[in-house]
């Protein structure tokens, strides 16, 4: 069946609007800071054949798993076993998006007694049990079984009602059961709303029309992606970078990528990278794929619709057992530390082919969790935090300052943290001279100093670039290294990027992110830009002299 362009437009916009509406419902009814302030979630609409036809514009971290999650669920629960109002939950790191905190909820959408499609929400839950608050501890966690509750697909909601037995079991295994339950209910609200709207769309437009529209959407997205890839010069582009370590006194992890562009297809191969590591940092293939898709899309067309079709011409490869395709039960709770680096590496490779789209490496980010007992309530608390610095210098301008890197989340306000958890934040500021020098400078690193007000707590660090700085490209210089310092104003002690430490009341942890890499030769930098940076304090007079040979006396 063919479909006229006007109807196709209406159906396509309708599918996108369903994905967006699910997201707004989820955000507005969620309980945890991660979902409601950090927006660490995503939504998808699938056809009856379990193909992703529309995805909401939320965090890209679930891109790699989202296209396959409904297929996986149907292997456990064939379509004929599903009823209206059912919802299947899973969080397995291999089947899902690479670590247990990401919980997927999948619901069928019925028109009369026929399944016309599926809707999915994914949310990062603030805790799913395991070795440390937040379930993202890296160091000392060597297998998935230490990382908390692993949920292979289960029918959590039957005909609209939660299975109370399952819910009790889940909530009995997490540190903040109210928040986990609140977020699960928010996901249920969102999938219920999405399933209803999808059913209405089929009812209004007719099943044949919407199904024909699905084919057209997937085919055209695929065709466009092929055209865009076809515009990239054929070749094999290699790049190599390193993660500092996977805990104190461990070796670096090689991040090596070979990007092969051949005609209208691209293969991204991470096989030359290190083996999987005995720490919770491994990037399961779904996660590797998610950020590979992200990177290719960034280099091709930022606004290309997100669905299964656009992903078909992109192949993500990694040797089994390697860091980027580990075997279960590899531990992976802290794998979010890696996403920037998947992008950085592909950026390093594809910049060679498309210099006008490339950029210096990001300021790495910081994702610490601090957990203990809140003296005000007597209950456990988890402070989940997100620290973001600058972007690498770009082909025609400096890197942006203080913007979410690859994953796209909001930060959590200082006043919200201090109101909800027993911490005091002493500084939140950009660090002068940390941005990598270049014709176009990298953005600066971010400093955030956090004091514990509770009697004691466990801090799980999740950072990087303490050893290997963010690289510059085309002659741009690397950004400054990152540091994590315990008690910077007293008995200062340098911590590893992924160290787990016991904090006592009054301890201050200073997270100092690396600066981003520069783009182009610093000697070519416009002196007016250096002058402006001096006025704004992004660069000090010493920094200007050391990085650019610029002396304000000489020119003024």
Partner 1 sequence: MAFDIGGTFTDFVLAAKDAPPRFLKLPSTPDDPARAVINGFATLLDAAGIQGADLDAVLHATTVATNAIIERKGRPTALITTEGFRDVLIIGRQKRYETYDLYMDKPAPLAPRRAIFEVQERLDHHGHVIEPLDDASVDAAVRAVEAGGYESVAVALLHAYANPAHEQAVGRALAKRLPDIPVTLAASISPKFREYERTSTAVANAYVRPIVDKYVQRLEGALKGHGFQKSMFIMQSAGGLVSPEIAREQPVRIVESGPAAGVLLAAMVGAEEGADHVITFDMGGTTAKLGAVDNGEPAVTPTFEVDPVRYRPGSGLPINVPAVELLEIGAGGGSIARVDLGVIHVGPESAGADPGPICYGRGGIEATVTDANLALGYINPDFFNAGAMQLDRDAALDGIRRAVAEPLGLSVEEAAWGIHTVANGNMERAMRIVSVERGRDPRRYAIVAFGGAGPLHAARIAKSIGAPRVLAPFGAGVGSAIGLLQAAPKIESSITRVMALENGAETEIAAIYEELRKRADTDLARLGAGGSPIWTRYGYLRYRGQGYEIRATLPDGPIDATFPAAAAAAFHAAYEQAYGYHDEAAAIEAVDWHLVATLPQPAGALDLGWRAPEGAMPKPRMRPTWQPEAGGFVDTPIHDRQQLPAGAAVKGPAIIEDPESTLVVPGGMWATVTERGHILIDIGQMVADGSNAP
The footprint of partner 1 on residues 345-384 (CB under 8 A) is 357, 359
| Closer by beta carbon to partner 1, 298 or else 467 | 298
Euclidean distance between CA atoms 420 and 413, whole angstroms:
11
DSSP 487-510: STTSS-EEE-TT-EEEEETT-EEE
Query: Among 212, 237, 347, 247, which residue's Cα sits nearest to residue 292?
Result: 347
**CB nearer partner 1, residue 315 or residue 427:** 427
Using the contact rule CB under 8 A, the part of the chain among 16-24, 107-115, 267-275, 323-331 near partner 1 is: 16-24
The secondary structure of 238-253 as a DSSP string is EEEEEE--SSTT---E
What is the spatial distance between Cα 93 and Cα 283, in angstroms, rounded to a whole number? Answer: 9
In the list 165, 302, 378, 491, the residue contacting partner 1 (rule: CB under 8 A) is 302
Q: Among 150, 308, 335, 394, which residue sits at the site for partner 1 (rule: CB under 8 A)?
A: 394
Please count the other Cβ atoms lying within 10 Å of the Cβ belonging to residue 293. Answer: 21
For residue 508, give Cα distances in angstroms to 375, 412, 452, 463, 497.
18, 18, 7, 17, 15
Residue 95 CB, shortest distance to partner 1, in Å, is: 24
Q: Are 133 and 460 in contact (CB under 8 A)?
A: yes
Among 2, 112, 164, 419, binds partner 1 (CB under 8 A): 419
Looking up tokens 């992110």 gives 513
Three-state secondary structure call for residue 143: strand
Residues 475 to 514 in contact with partner 1, rule: CB under 8 A: none
> Please, which residue, 30 or 458, has the CB nearer to partner 1?
30
Q: Which is nearer to partner 1, 125 or 179 (CB)?
A: 179
| Three-class SS of 160-204 | CEECHHHHHHHHCCCCCHHHHHHHHHHHHHHHHHHHHHHHHHHHH
Q: Give the residue, chosen from 251, 355, 413, 541, that forms a contact with partner 1 under the rule CB under 8 A.
A: 413
Site for partner 1 in 201-230 (CB under 8 A): 216, 220-221, 224
Choose among 130, 140, 64, 50: nearest CA to 97: 64
Q: What secondary structure does DSSP assign to 72-97, as a single string?
A: HHHHHS-GGG--TT-EEEE--TTTTT
Structure tokens at 248: 């104190």
State in angstroms the smallest separation of the CB of 392 from partner 1: 9
Q: Which of 138-146, 161-169, 296-304, 472-480 is the region at the interface with partner 1 (rule: CB under 8 A)?
A: 296-304
Q: Which is nearer to partner 1, 24 or 502 (CB)?
A: 24
DSSP code of residue 497? T
Size of the chain in residues = 556
Candidates 238-246, 420-428, 476-484, 505-513; binding stretch for partner 1 (CB under 8 A)? 420-428
Nearer to partner 1, 202 or 323 (CB): 202
Give the nearest distance from C-beta 193 to partner 1 in angstroms. Answer: 9
C-beta pairs of 399-403 under 8 Å, 24+ apart in sequence: 399/359, 399/360, 399/435, 399/440, 399/441, 399/442, 399/443, 399/516, 399/519, 400/443, 401/430, 401/443, 401/444, 401/538, 402/430, 402/443, 402/446, 403/443
- Closer to partner 1 by CB, 131 or 446: give it: 446
Going residue by residue from 522 to 551, which x/- string records binding to partner 1, judged by CB under 8 A? -------------xxxx-------------
* CB of residue 443 to partner 1, shortest distance in Å: 11
**Residue 106 sits in the site that holds partner 1 (CB under 8 A):** no
What is the distance between the alpha carbons of residues 61 and 367, in angstroms, rounded to a whole number? 15
> E strands of 270-400, at which residues?
314-317, 369-373, 380-384
Q: Single out the residue of 351, 411, 460, 510 in contact with partner 1 (rule: CB under 8 A).
A: 411
Measured distance CA(436)–CA(396) in Å, rounded:
15
Token pair 């250096």 is found at 530
Q: Which of residues 233-262 bind partner 1 (CB under 8 A)?
A: none
Q: Which stretch binds partner 1 (CB under 8 A): 20-28, 140-148, 463-471, 486-494?
A: 20-28
Site for partner 1 in 448-477 (CB under 8 A): 449
Q: Can the peptide bond before residue 329 be classed as cis, meaning omega within 30 degrees of 0?
A: yes
Q: How far is the CB of 298 from partner 1 (least distance, A)?
A: 5
Spatial distance between the Cα atoms of 316 and 294, rounded to a whole number of angstroms: 12
Region near partner 1 per CB under 8 A, out of 142-150, 291-299, 504-512, 546-554: 291-299
Does 41 sit near partner 1 (CB under 8 A)?
no
46 binds partner 1 (CB under 8 A): no
Stretch near partner 1 under the rule CB under 8 A, chosen from 12-20, 79-87, 472-480, 488-496: 12-20
Could you count the other beta carbons within 10 Å of the beta carbon of residue 81? 10
User: How far is C-alpha 211 from the geometric centre of its chain's CA atoms?
Assistant: 31
| For partner 1, the closer CB: 75 or 178 | 178
> Which residues on adjacent β-strands are paired with residue 459?
370, 501
3-state SS assignment for residue 261 = strand
User: Hey, which residues between 84 and 103 contact partner 1 (CB under 8 A)?
Assistant: none
> Residue 36 interacts with partner 1 (CB under 8 A)?
yes
Question: 512 — phi, psi (to 5°)?
Answer: -120, 105
Residues 158-187 that bind partner 1 (CB under 8 A): 178-179, 182
Q: Under the criterion CB under 8 A, does residue 344 sit at the interface with partner 1?
A: no
Q: Whole-number minimum distance, CB 436 to partner 1, in Å?
A: 16
Q: How far apart are CA 166 and CA 502, in angstroms?
A: 33
Q: Which stretch binds partner 1 (CB under 8 A): 8-16, 163-171, 246-254, 456-464?
A: 8-16
Which one of 6-14, 83-91, 327-335, 489-497 is the stretch in contact with partner 1 (CB under 8 A)? 6-14
1 lies in the binding site for partner 1 (CB under 8 A): no
Which of 414, 467, 485, 501 lies at the binding interface for partner 1 (CB under 8 A)? Answer: 414
> Please, which residue, 401 or 499, has the CB nearer to partner 1?
401
């Amino acid at each position: 069946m063919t479909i006229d362009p006007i109807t196709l437009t209406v159906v396509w916009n309708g599918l996108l609007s369903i994905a967006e509406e699910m997201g707004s419902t989820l955000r507005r009814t969620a309980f945890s800071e991660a979902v409601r302030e950090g927006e660490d979630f995503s939504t998808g609409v699938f056809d009856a054949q379990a193909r992703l036809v529309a995805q909401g514009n939320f965090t890209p971290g679930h891109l790699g798993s989202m296209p396959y999650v409904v297929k996986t669920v149907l292997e456990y629960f064939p379509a004929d076993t599903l009823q209206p109002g059912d919802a299947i939950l899973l969080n397995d790191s291999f089947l899902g998006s690479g670590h247990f905190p990401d919980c997927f909820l999948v619901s069928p959408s019925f028109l009369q007694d026929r399944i016309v499609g599926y809707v999915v929400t994914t949310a990062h839950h603030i805790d799913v049990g395991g070795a440390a608050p937040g379930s993202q501890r890296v160091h000392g966690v060597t297998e998935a079984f230490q990382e908390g509750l692993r949920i292979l697909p289960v029918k959590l909601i039957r005909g609209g009602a939660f299975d109370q037995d399952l819910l009790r079991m889940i909530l009995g295994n997490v540190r903040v059961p109210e928040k986990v339950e609140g977020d699960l209910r928010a996901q249920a609200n969102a999938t219920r709303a999405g399933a209803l709207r999808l059913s209405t769309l089929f009812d209004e437009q007719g099943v044949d029309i919407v199904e024909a529209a699905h084919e057209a959407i997937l085919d055209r997205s695929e065709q466009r992606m092929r055209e865009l890839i076809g515009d990239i010069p054929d070749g094999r582009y290699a790049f190599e970078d390193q993660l500092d370590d996977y805990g104190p006194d461990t070796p670096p992890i090689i991040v090596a990528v070979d990007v092969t562009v051949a005609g209208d297809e691209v293969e991204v191969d991470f096989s030359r990278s290190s083996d999987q590591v005995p720490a919770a940092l491994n990037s399961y293939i779904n996660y590797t794929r998610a950020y590979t898709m992200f990177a290719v899309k960034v280099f091709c067309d930022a606004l290309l619709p997100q669905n299964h079709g656009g992903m078909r011409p992109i192949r993500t490869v990694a040797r089994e057992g390697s860091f980027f395709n580990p075997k279960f039960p590899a531990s992976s709770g802290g794998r979010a530390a890696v996403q920037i680096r998947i992008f950085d590496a592909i950026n390093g490779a594809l910049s060679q082919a498309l210099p006008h789209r490339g950029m210096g490496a990001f300021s790495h980010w910081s994702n610490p969790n601090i957990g203990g007992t809140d003296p005000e309530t007597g209950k456990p608390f988890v402070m989940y935090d997100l620290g973001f610095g600058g972007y690498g210098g770009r082909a025609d301008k400096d890197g942006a300052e203080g913007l979410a890197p690859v994953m796209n989340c909001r930060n959590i306000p200082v006043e919200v943290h201090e109101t909800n958890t027993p911490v005091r934040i002493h500084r939140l500021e950009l660090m002068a001279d940390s941005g990598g020098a270049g014709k176009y400078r990298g953005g600066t690193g971010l400093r955030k100093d956090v004091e514990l007000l509770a009697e004691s707590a466990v801090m799980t660090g999740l950072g990087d670039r303490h050893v290997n700085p963010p690289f510059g490209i085309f002659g741009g210089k690397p950004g400054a290294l990152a540091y994590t310092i315990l008690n910077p104003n007293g008995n200062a002690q340098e911590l590893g990027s992924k160290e787990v430490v016991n904090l006592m009341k009054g301890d201050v942890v200073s997270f100092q992110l690396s600066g981003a890499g520069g783009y182009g030769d610093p000697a070519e930098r416009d002196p007016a830009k250096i002058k402006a940076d001096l006025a704004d304090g992004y660069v000090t007079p010493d920094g200007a002299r050391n990085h650019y040979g610029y002396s304000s006396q000489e020119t003024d």
